[in-house]
Structure 1
Amino acid sequence: MGASRRFLKDDGRLSPAAGDNLLAAIRHLRPELNETLDDLENSLGANPPTGREGEQRSFEKDALGTVMETFGADRDPLEAWQQPLGGDDPRSRSVPFIEGMPALRQIEDQQIVHDYLRFPGMEGEDAVQVAWRIYRRSSESRHRLFVYNANRTNAETVMGVDMIYVNEHARSVAMVQYKRMRQSGPGWVYWHDATGERELKRMETVDDQCKAEDEWARTSQEGRTTLGDPRLVPTPSMVKLCRTTPFMMNSAALIPGMYLTREHFQELLQRPEADGPSGGTRIVEQSVPRYLNNTTFTTLLRDGWIGTRGTGWDYVIDLIRESLSANGPGSVVVGMHRSEVPPGNRRVN
């Protein structure tokens, strides 16, 4: 490093020239690190998306990280995300987040197409832009996670993200609608509007239908397939109230937030403290006494304690197909857990 060696004795930041000399010395001594150093330099020099696009990317990353955590895989690949098409290309704002993920653990194209077309209740539609990745827990694992990220609109105009987790073995589906909380003074607040009310009514309709399907499965002679397969929450609709968080590259952390069942979310909106001081309906973060955090939610979902069962599965799968159609919402992240063995917390005969 020549004269730049003196900077190594300081605790402060290296000068640009000394930093270049240090990197050059490391590359000379450890050439096998060149690729890793290139990736680090590229990521540090990248400009992450900001504003509404950055918020949307944060939600999509959180949804992908959540399905990976639920599946039992490391979230580390999220740190390798790079802006697809280049950050200055306006088309990047309507490209799914997962397009910026490295192509890790993909299987052969023919197998991918085969599995994609066999997604329960789905048919391929050319009009839908669906990005996908396939992950395994390990090279020997019999568990596979198929992830689809559909985003058909400009990320700056999408209101939220739907996360859908499908567990084929348990015939269980859970759906999460992301809701933004904005900072208001020292706290965080979610403001409920007409759009949020319409979404809430749709979730209520889905849950009511699943309850009816579940009741039929419990009482009918033909449908007693749910006996011995209980759920703490037998309906699919959940809400995650998220703090507005800038998009962070090189980070696999999940967004701080609160997971609520649809019923709990609805109850909070009907409390007296939900009335805003100048009108409107709100949920103040500090007023929510109980909720599921990221760890509790993913654990319950992974072990099959949350989500549909029995014939409710068929009904929700049809809804997922509609969500991924051209008439569906602007951004959907679907994780499908496929395995020949129970996912966990189940007795194996």
Structure 2
Amino acid sequence: MTPTMKADDLKNLSRMPVSLLRVTADEWSAIAETRRQGARFSLHFPHGMARAGQRNGLVLISTANLDPALRLGLITSIAATSTLDSRVVFDLVSPAAPGSLARLLQSVTAPGLRAPRDRLASGATQFERVSPKLGTALIAAIAEDPQNTPPLTRILAHLRRPSRYNNARGLQQDAVALAIKAFGGNDGASSIALTGDDTAIATVRVLEDAAIEHDARWMPGWRLADSDLTGRATFARRDERLDVFTANKRPLEELFGVDLIYLNNARGALVMVQYKMLESEGPARRSMASKLSEDDEADEQRWIVRINDQFTDELSRMRRFDRDLAPNGPYRLNSGAFFFKLVRRNAATTSAGILLSLGHLDHLMGGGELSGPAGGLRICYQSLDGHYLRSDGFVELVRSGYIGTRGATTDHMQALIEASLRGGKAVVAAIRTALGPVA
């Protein structure tokens, strides 16, 4: 059964501005043939017309002579692109019941709204703002239909997502996005919509608790293949299968000391990632000699990871499992399972962070190169001198099977993971399984 909207969610939706975009059947046909297939697209308007929209406002998209003829989305950006025009980005676009603007307007019967309702019905402007009271009534009517709960939930989840690495919520968001990207999701598809409360997992569109409704799942280019009540959503595309797990308060993290697990069955490779927050040691002394990207920090600012009892215990558990039981198995650049992703506190969640293998970290710590105050691990971008992985490079290594465990090591850890998924704690696992062609 499709879930209904919560009262607080309805209240938040009712406060959002609403715009109406009219597109012809030919225009929508062209939009639907783009890479995002209409789930995300942009159009240019004269500045005055572009102001009919508002960033993080809702948009109704009406298309005559098509079925469905009504869609709902979110305006995520409005920016000037020339002297006369602005670009408006429409995202999270999905079909909306009752299927047409005319039928939706018929649901508005309040006497005070009849005049603006009729003006909107007879209008021909391509892009216009809906009056606040009429907009509230239209979104309330949409929310009453359970079929519209998934797209509305996706929009709310997008608006609630963390924008900075200031707590575990931002780290978990990055973990899920990285997991999906590693197995073929592009930037627009690097998230999954599942209903849930306002938690770290919910805001990246994966349910925090284990009650997952089928109709709430969405990822462009993938179809829902299966699900269960262990916090698993399974997607299939061509000859690939992607399982994304959430396992709250379960023993996976306690077992391995990690936050994110990839099991690439097509390559028999397993990779695990532990996220660590970097704390600033002091103000930056910016260097003018280099023109590195902002994320590479062309400065002398230093960052600290606290080597506390928890970190020491995590390292001990990782080393316990960091053994290659099949040295003659498939080729690996690195047959170890464990990596660390280091992100700066309060940095934007769009910043890349850096990745180090357990072996590399042990090497640096053993040589005293990263010793910081009070037992801390000091990270300086300049001292590392680019000797680390970025997310994109790491993702390619995971996808290709060039890193990760092999043979008996993978089998052993997979058995532990499958057993541990019946209990759990804040662990995200992405599993890719080779299938035959998807029908």
What TM-score results when the alignment is normalised by the length of structure 1? 0.65
**Contact 1:96-1:150 within 8 A present in 2 as well:** no
Give the letter for the 2:305 counterpart. Y
Q: How far apart are 1:297 and its partner, in Å?
A: 0.7
Instruction: Quote the Cα distance in structure 2 between the aligned partners of 1:282 and 1:48.
Output: 32
* Structure 1, gaps ≥5 residues long: 1-7, 114-128, 154-159, 219-225, 342-349
Residue 217 (structure 2) aligned to one of 93, 103, 109: 103
1:157 — aligned with what?
none
Measured in 2, the distance between the counterparts of 1:335 and 1:83 equals 19
Q: Which residue of 2 aligns with 1:125?
A: none
Taking only the aligned residue pairs, the percentage that are identical comes to: 25
| SS of corresponding position for 1:335 | strand
- 1:310 maps to 407
For structure 2, list consecutive stretches of 5 or more residues without a partner in the other structure.
1-44, 76-91, 94-138, 140-151, 251-256, 285-300
Write the mapping of 1:1-349 to structure 2, written as runs, cut at 5 A.
14=51, 32=69, 34-37=71-74, 43=155, 48=160, 55-78=167-190, 84-85=196-197, 87=198, 92=199, 97=204, 98-99=206-207, 102-104=216-218, 105-107=222-224, 109=226, 112-113=227-228, 130-137=230-237, 141-152=238-249, 162-184=259-281, 185-186=283-284, 187=301, 188-207=303-322, 210-211=323-324, 213-215=325-327, 218=328, 226=329, 229-245=330-346, 253=350, 255-277=351-373, 279-286=374-381, 287-289=383-385, 290-321=387-418, 323-326=420-423, 328=424, 330-340=425-435
Query: Hey, what's the Cα distance between the residues in 2 that align with 1:258 and 1:37?
Result: 32
Displacement of 1:55 = 2.9
Q: Which is richer in strand?
A: 2
Q: Aligned partners of 2:357 and 2:379: how far apart in 1?
A: 17
With normalisation by structure 2, the TM-score equals: 0.53
Assess if the C-alpha contact under 8 Å between 1:166 and 1:336 holds in 2: yes
Q: Could you say if the C-alpha distance between residues 53 and 204 of structure 1 is closer, same or farther in structure 2, counting changes exceeding 3 Å?
A: same
Cα displacement (A) at 1:9: 6.8
Distance in 1, Cα, partners of 2:343 & 2:273: 12
How far is the alpha carbon of 1:26 from its aligned partner?
7.7
| Higher Rg | 2
Separation in 2, partners of 1:292, 1:65: 17
Q: Is contact 1:176-1:239 (8 Å) kept?
A: yes
Q: Kindly state the Cα deviation for residue 214 of structure 1 after the two structures are TM-superposed.
A: 2.1
Partners of 1:291 and 1:24 in 2: CA distance: 41
- What letter is aligned with 2:413? V
Change in Cα spacing, 1:182 to 1:11, as seen in structure 2 (3 Å) is: farther
Contact 1:134 1:147 in 2 (8 A): yes
Cα deviation for residue 195 of structure 1 reads 0.6
CA distance in 2, matches of 1:292, 1:52: 21
For 2:392 and 2:164, locate their aligned partners in 1 and report how far apart those are by CA, in whole Å: 27
Q: When the two structures are aligned, how many residues end up with a matched partner?
A: 276
Task: Supply the RMSD in Å over aligned alpha carbons.
Answer: 3.9
Ranked by relative contact order (alpha carbons within 8 Å, sequence separation 6 or more), the top structure is 1
Q: CA distance change for structure 1 residues 241 and 46 in 2, over 3 Å: closer, same or farther?
A: closer
Distance 1:142 1:45 in 2: 29
Question: Higher helix share goes to which structure?
Answer: 1
